[in-house]
Structure 1
Amino acid sequence: MTKKEKFKLVEKFILENREAHYRLAYSYVRNKDTALDIVQESILKALNSIDRLDEIAYMKTWFYRIIVNTSIDFIRKHQRVTVMDDEILSVHLPQLEDEMTDMDLQDAIDQLPSTDKTLIILRFFEDLKIEEIAAITDENINTTKTRLYRALKRLRIEVGEDFRL
């Protein structure tokens, strides 16, 4: 396959799945503008490294890995900076009990190490299969299962035993 053909397929994939890509980046930074910046930077990285995509069948996991790594890099670089969305600022307004539970869950997820956070987001918020997550994180399937179980156990302890995803 020529580079031009590969470029067209990647471009089509990015455009067709842009909402999922944004959602994935947003799940890390919880800020609209920052998530859009991460997606944009990820697209640039993908297009610049298109030669590294050997199998078109693995395009989804390849691009998700780029988004996850770009998101984690952003968080590492900006650890001391807290970016807030209007939605987060609404914390000071009266809320429903379900919204508070969601905030507790999101706070607990944010407290996880970035590798565990990635597993939770990809499995339960992006609804990816264990095999896809293992490919994205470049790990063995059994390792991915074990780490996911451990991350869920940590969340149950943090949020409470009645917690369910």
Structure 2
Amino acid sequence: MGKFSYSERSLIKKAIKGDTNALGKILHKNHEYMYKMAYIYIGNKEDALDIMQEATIQAMKSIHTLKEPSYFLTWFCTIMARLASKVINQKIKIRELQNNPEFEEPTDLSKNKNQAIDVLEAVTSLEDKYRLILQLFYYQDFSVKEISELLNMPEGTVKTNLKRGRDALKKNLGEDYYV
């Protein structure tokens, strides 16, 4: 994902110049990919849809700031990642206020032997800070430095959380699990 045809780049350029119909077309064309990314960021359907909706509103307001059309999806997913981070932080505060360690979001995933679903379940079961960093690193191909800048945290913290997230995945999936 991320490589656009000439017509798609043309739509993005029109959107940058203020054509909301062009923006709508490019968002519609990439809807499935963006939903998958939002779901991976946040871990449930409702919040993923909310994040996509809010990201679309923000994109409409700030599309003129996009300098390179070929980075549209990265730019849009960065908006979603920031929104996901805010939602995650809000959920953490709610959990703290409720002071209930058993409070958990229900997941829509069924138990299945399919490796992709196993990995997705393992990722979504991680602590929020590990899930977000793993998603940015592996699914969005952000570097440690880019994640550090995006989440406003030191690179060392990003590296530590990346390592701990990998270790937690290994523990959840088992030592002999290969994808």
The answer, yes or no, to whether TM exceeds 0.5 is: yes
Alignment of 1:68 with 2:104, yes or no, is no
Distance 1:108 1:61 in 2: 21
What is the aligned residue count?
146
- Name 2:121's counterpart in structure 1: 106
Gaps of 5+ in 2: 1-12, 96-102, 150-154
Amino acid at match of 2:70: A
Distance 1:55 1:17 in 2: 17
Out of 70, 75, 78, the residue aligned to residue 57 of structure 1 is 70
Q: Deviations over 1:10-46 (max 9, x none)?
A: 3332111111111111223333222211110110111
Out of 105, 117, 120, the residue aligned to residue 134 of structure 2 is 120
Distance 2:162 2:90 in 1: 28
Gaps of 5+ in 1: none
Out of 30, 38, 43, the residue aligned to residue 25 of structure 1 is 38
- Name 1:84's counterpart in structure 2: 106
Amino acid at match of 2:18: K
Whether the aligned pair in 2 keeps the contact of 1:53 and 1:62 (CA below 8 Å) is yes
- Name 1:46's counterpart in structure 2: 59
Amino acid at match of 1:64: C
Whether the aligned pair in 1 keeps the contact of 2:39 and 2:48 (CA below 8 Å) is yes
Normalised to the residue count of structure 2, the TM-score between the two structures is 0.61
Whether the aligned pair in 2 keeps the contact of 1:22 and 1:35 (CA below 8 Å) is yes
Distance 1:55 1:138 in 2: 22
